[in-house]
Amino acid sequence: MAEVLVFVDHVDGAVRKPTLELLTLARRIGEPVAVALGAGAENTAAALAEHGAVKVLTHDASEYADYLVVPKVDALQAAVEAVSPAAVLVPSSAEGKEIAARLALRIGSGIITDATDIEAGDEGPVATQSVFAASFTTKSRVSKGTPVITVKPNSAAVEAAPAAGAVEALAVTFSAQATGTKVTGRTPRESTGRPELTEAAIVVSGGRGVNGAENFALIESLADSLGAAVGASRAAVDAGWYPHTNQVGQTGKSVSPQLYIANGISGAIQHRAGMQTSKTIVAVNKDAEAPIFDLVDYGVVGDLFDVVPQLTEEINTRKG
Amino acid sequence: MSLRIVVTVKYVPDATGDRHFADDLTVDRDDVDGLLSELDEYAVEQALQISENSDDDVEITVLTVGPEDAKDALRKALSMGADKAIHVEDDDLHGTDAIGTSLVLAKAIEKAGYDLVISGLASTDGTMGVVPALLAERLGVPQVTLLSEVSVEDGTVKGRRDGDAASEQLEASLPAVVSVTDQSGEARYPSFKGIMAAKKKPVESWDLSDLDLEAEEVGLEGAWTAVDSATERPARTAGTIVKDEGEGGKQLAEFLAGQKFI
């Protein structure tokens, strides 16, 4: 069976969920071979083996942390040359897409980004994408070279599928470009203790109607009652009420959770682009004419300052 | 010292319009009004700010690849304050994918001459966000991308890249390729004077032969990816809408419990 390379997104050896989802998709088209780079790379092996990786290629060097993107491209290219895979799958983070694009160009292959599903096809893997603010679904293939596909979080279930997960050292020679862009400082983001926005099963968002940074505490309380991530519309972010890293929409994150709760969000195209593929959509808004109500499974026309606290309290009561 | 900045921009169908696909599964660019991609305005803005903050002699060229109407996008950037424009236009470009677009842009950037390339974070139609990285790869220069803050001094570009896990400070020597986010600073509106001045600014038109490119290297036939189908997403079925009469929160909780979210 053909091997499929999976680029591992991990933090000091802790594998992030989208990578495990990639292993599920990789198993549909071949045998997953994982590539883990940087500090803690070898510690990823157990989790990757548990979810179907037959091999884990690892390499650590200070270049991965000290320089932007290119060292990882060099390593992934070395892995492609060592394995000759049927496809290369990369998580669709900002960095993941940049790594994938440069790799594709180097190995003379087409690239598909932001896939939401992958199936085996007669002419190679077929990728599903959601385009034009999720108003169309396309099916595409790479027609030249080894398909390089980046996949959005929440595109597949994480499945246990124990495999050997044998760790092998990857030999990497860095290119002249590898040290072109130096990372001179890094400030880790403070953890909120909430799930990652793009990976969360439930997202609770606030918009213009939240009317002030201090009122986002209401949104956060509701989120915490459901174990959800917090999102914000562009209007709320532009007003300085919530950080840009939490923005949902065309210029922020695109999310596809099981449940999306929009509070005080009108539902402009900009916002819909980032949440329209959510499984269940719920909205609370004062304006009965707000376009968000065209998308909802359940909507409450009312003041979020009344509805949201009541909802939070009711959830906490029911949870006992 | 002089600093030559090339800003890459794209003419895209208006996102508030009824965007759809043509029969050959390329983006229909005829039926829907187009405009300068909003995210590219931030790139033009940062080029202008770099110019305003520099003691060097800065020249800003805006570059686009696209059909005849794409001149509108160039005109907008010129009215914001860019100095000149290059329009790469050729019938054989129809259907070019991101890899092909990066080839055409890289050839044009090299022909124009550059110290710094500035792009937006992604186009608002394709939304891939990979062209800046592809340009850096093709040009063989550092990529300093997704910056929320950018400055250029003494032949060095510095900036802040806000990632999910951390915020990073980046630094590279020129020449380099930069991309900026919508957090980099509000783009200015063209002034009346700027709009009038733009009419007199030079717009050069180049075709594939000007860039020593062959038709089969670009276009739908030259693309390394193929779209097999495009299906309009069915409208979501109408949901239940209730008016809050004092029990709205509880009713919503009941719905969520019914869906097993609680």
B159-217 pLDDT per residue, tens: 999 988 899 999 999 999 999 999 999 999 999 999 999 999 999 999 999 999 999 99
Model pLDDT for residues B62-106, shown as the tens digit of each residue? 999 999 999 999 999 999 999 999 999 999 999 999 999 999 999
Give the C-alpha separation, A255 to A245, whole Å: 13
- pLDDT of amino acid B235: 81
Nearest-by-Cβ selection for A141 from B176, B226, B235 = B226
pLDDT band at B15 (very low <50, low <70, confident <90, very high): confident
Contact B177, B102 (CB under 8 A): no
In angstroms, the separation between the Cα of residue A256 and the nearest Cα of chain B is: 15
ipTM of the complex: 0.95
Q: Say whether the peptide bond before residue A18 is cis (omega within 30 degrees of 0).
A: no
Return per-residue pLDDT of chain A as tens, 320 residues: 799 999 999 999 999 999 999 999 999 999 999 999 999 999 999 999 999 999 999 999 999 999 999 999 999 999 999 999 999 999 999 999 999 999 999 999 999 999 999 999 999 999 999 998 888 999 999 999 999 999 999 999 999 999 999 999 999 999 999 999 999 999 998 888 999 999 999 999 999 999 999 999 999 999 999 999 999 999 999 999 999 999 999 888 999 999 999 999 999 988 998 999 899 999 999 999 999 999 999 999 999 999 999 999 999 999 87
Give the C-alpha separation, B88 to B138, whole Å: 18
CA distances to A150, B46, B129, B155, B174 from B115, rounded to whole Å, are 31, 15, 22, 9, 6
Contacts of A258 in chain B (CB under 8 A): 261
- pLDDT of amino acid A189: 86
Q: SS3 of A313, please?
A: helix
Nearest-by-Cβ selection for B134 from A105, A244, A303 = A105
CA distances to A80, A103, A203, B170 from A34, rounded to whole Å, are 11, 16, 30, 28
CA distances to A203, A225, A251 from A241, rounded to whole Å, are 17, 21, 17
Q: SS3 of A64, please?
A: helix
Enter the pTM of the model.
0.94
In angstroms, the separation between the Cα of residue A30 and the nearest Cα of chain B is: 20
**Which chain B residue is nearest to residue A318, measuring alpha carbons?**
B262
- pLDDT of amino acid B93: 96
Q: Which two tokens stand for residue B40?
A: 């590219």
Region of poorest pLDDT, from A141-150, B28-37, B90-99, B148-157: B28-37
Collect all residues with Cβ–Cβ distance below 8 Å to B91 and sequence separation of at least 6.
none
For chain A, which residues make up each domain, given as ranges? 3-179, 202-319
Q: Is A187 on the interface with B (CB under 8 A)?
A: yes
Give the residue-averaged pLDDT of B238-252. 95
CA distances to A74, A274, B89 from B96, rounded to whole Å, are 27, 26, 12
Q: Which of residues 92-131 of B touch A (CB under 8 A)?
A: 97-99, 102, 121, 124-125, 127-130
Interface contact B167-A187, CB threshold 8 A: yes
Give me the total of CB pairs closer than 8 Å, taking one residue from chain A and one from chain B. 257
Model pLDDT for residues B219-228, shown as the tens digit of each residue? 999 999 999 9
Give the C-alpha separation, B131 to A308, whole Å: 42
Interface contact B248-A244, CB threshold 8 A: no
Q: Which two tokens stand for residue B143?
A: 């990529």
* Gyration radius of chain B's alpha carbons: 22
Cα A316 from chain centre: 29
Nearest-by-Cβ selection for A185 from B169, B256, B261 = B169
* Gyration radius of chain A's alpha carbons: 21
* Residue B1 in this model has a pLDDT that exceeds 80: no
**Which chain B residue is nearest to residue A312, measuring alpha carbons?**
B249
Question: 10 Å Cβ neighbour count for B20?
Answer: 15
**Which chain B residue is nearest to residue A65, measuring alpha carbons?**
B168
Domains contained in chain B, CATH given? 2-222 (3.40.50.620)
Identify the residue whose tokens are 């999102």. Answer: A231
Of residues A26, A14, A87, the one with CA closest to residue A53: A26
Q: Which two tokens stand for residue A126?
A: 């077929």
Give the C-alpha separation, B249 to B262, whole Å: 14
**Please, what CATH class does the domain formed by A202-319 belong to?**
alpha beta
- pLDDT of amino acid B236: 81
Give the residue-averaged pLDDT of B126-151. 97
Q: Is A282 on the interface with B (CB under 8 A)?
A: yes
Give the C-alpha separation, B23 to B39, whole Å: 28
Report the CATH number of the A3-179 domain.
Answer: 3.40.50.620
- pLDDT of amino acid B28: 86
**Which chain A residue is nearest to residue B16, measuring alpha carbons?**
A269
Identify the residue whose tokens are 């509701």. Answer: A222
Q: Which of residues 6-65 of B touch A (CB under 8 A)?
A: 15-16, 19-21, 25, 39
Interface contact A131-B163, CB threshold 8 A: no
Nearest-by-Cβ selection for A182 from B16, B170, B253 = B170
